[in-house]
């Protein structure tokens, strides 16, 4: 049995978790800062870093207590190395180093997106080749995994991440932060939808672009305002969401077909969006390709996913040293070719 302590502080959640053999969650603790950042309408990096320092040892202790595991029973410490907010990342990293040193444990730096993908391993066995749609406030990417620990990014956003576009459109509609769940709810209840453009980019491209859609929403609102008309927030939400969903689902479907994958997974905070999730489920049921989305607590940032990805690296023999730094722009590189 292998027990890994995972630590995640890349944005606004301070999280620690213990995972057995990369597949079984023994404990999963998340201290969210969302209430604190709400007043600013978004995550303020300096405020996030301050909260991480306040929470970090408490959260790790809680993960150990809930798991009823002593530090000496652990096999390694895995921590998010990047990408993310650098000041936030390095709190988790320093804590991981100090914990690893105090208990003389191996240290493993993990890519945050790899974590989101491996969140699936906690609920369903991963089968390769696999296609992962990573969609969150910071990322919109399509990644093909030919085997465990091997990543090939085939598409990504060229401007805003999908979640970022959701937050910006939510602001236009005066919805509270974070806006994604509100748009999702309005869209599901709506009896109509404004027709916004779909951005497909070049033929065959798996990249995304959401800034044009966001501008279209803003222009639509301005136009109506100039005519002295009120916008219907539900119709705007439904139209915006439909545009995002159409493009994301279609590109994911095409990619799954081209790469002949055995499994498709969605990961990241926006994967919790019901409209998107339902459309993906329907599409892949028709295509007869198994499709999985982690349950909500594993879609949003958490440390169990970091421990799960850390396990795969641990087995592959990857180790980090105490000079590990936070890497805000860390590339997703493979670790099975060590």
Partner 1 sequence: MIWLGIDTSNTPLSVALVEDGQLLIEHTDSFKTTHSVAAMPTIERIMKEAGITPDQLSAIAVAKGPGSYTGIRIGMTLAKTLGWSLNIPVYPVSSLAVLATPGKWFDGLTVSVMDARRQHVFAGVYDKQTVLTEAHRSFADLLEFLHQQERPVLWCGQDAKLFEEAILACGLVSYFAGVGEQLPRASELISLAQKLEPATSIHELTPDYLRLTEAEVNWMKAND
The footprint of partner 1 (CB under 8 A) covers 39-40, 44, 46-47, 49-50, 53-54, 56-58, 60-61, 71, 87, 90-91, 93-95, 97-99, 101-104, 321-326
The residue (of 76 and 293) whose beta carbon lies closer to partner 1 is: 76
Q: What is the DSSP string of 16-29?
A: EEEEETTTEEEEEE
CA angle 218, 224, 229 (to 5 degrees): 135
The answer to whether the CB of 4 falls within 8 A of the CB of 18 is yes
The residue (of 58 and 338) whose beta carbon lies closer to partner 1 is: 58
Least distance in angstroms from the C-beta of 31 to partner 1: 12
Instruction: Compute the distance between CA of residue 269 and CA of residue 136 in angstroms, rounded to an integer.
Output: 5
The answer to whether the CB of 152 falls within 8 A of the CB of 145 is yes
The residue (of 57 and 333) whose beta carbon lies closer to partner 1 is: 57
Least distance in angstroms from the C-beta of 336 to partner 1: 26
Reading the block at residue 140, the tokens are 């919109």
The residue (of 107 and 266) whose beta carbon lies closer to partner 1 is: 107
The answer to whether the CB of 115 falls within 8 A of the CB of 304 is no
Least distance in angstroms from the C-beta of 275 to partner 1: 32
First to last CA, the chain: 23
The residue (of 103 and 319) whose beta carbon lies closer to partner 1 is: 103
Least distance in angstroms from the C-beta of 18 to partner 1: 15
The residue (of 101 and 128) whose beta carbon lies closer to partner 1 is: 101
Least distance in angstroms from the C-beta of 312 to partner 1: 25
Instruction: Compute the distance between CA of residue 79 and CA of residue 115 in angstroms, rounded to an integer.
Output: 10
Instruction: Compute the distance between CA of residue 77 and CA of residue 107 in angstroms, rounded to an integer.
Output: 5
Least distance in angstroms from the C-beta of 246 to partner 1: 36
Handedness of CA 233, 180, 251, 205 (dihedral sign): positive
The answer to whether the CB of 299 falls within 8 A of the CB of 292 is no
């Amino acid at each position: 049995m292998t027990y890994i302590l995972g630590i995640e502080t890349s944005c606004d959640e301070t999280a620690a978790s213990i995972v057995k053999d990369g597949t079984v969650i023994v404990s999963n603790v998340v201290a969210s800062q969302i209430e604190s950042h709400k007043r600013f309408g978004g995550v303020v990096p300096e405020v996030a870093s301050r909260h991480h320092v306040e929470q970090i040892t408490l959260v790790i202790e809680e993960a150990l207590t809930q798991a009823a595991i002593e530090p000496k029973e652990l096999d390694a410490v895995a921590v998010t190395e990047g990408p993310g907010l650098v000041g936030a990342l390095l709190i988790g990293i320093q804590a991981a180093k100090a914990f690893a040193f105090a208990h003389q444990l191996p240290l493993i730096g993990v890519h945050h997106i790899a974590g989101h993908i491996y969140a699936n391993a906690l609920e369903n066995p991963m089968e390769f080749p696999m296609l992962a749609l990573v969609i969150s406030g910071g990322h919109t990417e399509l990644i093909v995994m030919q085997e465990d620990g091997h990543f090939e990014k085939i598409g990504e956003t060229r401007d805003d991440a999908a979640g970022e576009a959701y937050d910006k459109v939510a602001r236009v509609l005066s919805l509270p932060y974070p806006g994604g769940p509100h748009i999702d709810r309005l869209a599901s209840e709506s009896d109509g939808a404004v027709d916004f453009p779909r951005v497909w980019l070049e033929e065959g491209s798996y990249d995304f672009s959401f800034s044009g859609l966001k501008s279209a929403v803003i222009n639509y609102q301005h136009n109506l305002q100039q005519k002295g008309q009120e916008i219907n927030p539900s119709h705007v939400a439904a139209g915006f969401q439909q545009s995002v969903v159409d493009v994301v689902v279609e590109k994911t479907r095409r990619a799954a077909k081209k790469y002949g994958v055995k499994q498709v997974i969605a990961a990241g905070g926006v994967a919790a969006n019901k409209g998107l999730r339902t459309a993906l489920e329907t599409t892949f049921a028709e295509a007869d390709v198994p499709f999985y989305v982690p349950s909500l607590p594993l879609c949003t940032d958490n440390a169990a996913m970091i421990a799960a990805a850390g396990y795969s690296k641990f087995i592959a023999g990857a180790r980090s040293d105490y000079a590990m730094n936070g890497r805000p722009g860390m590339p997703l590189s493979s670790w099975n070719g060590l």
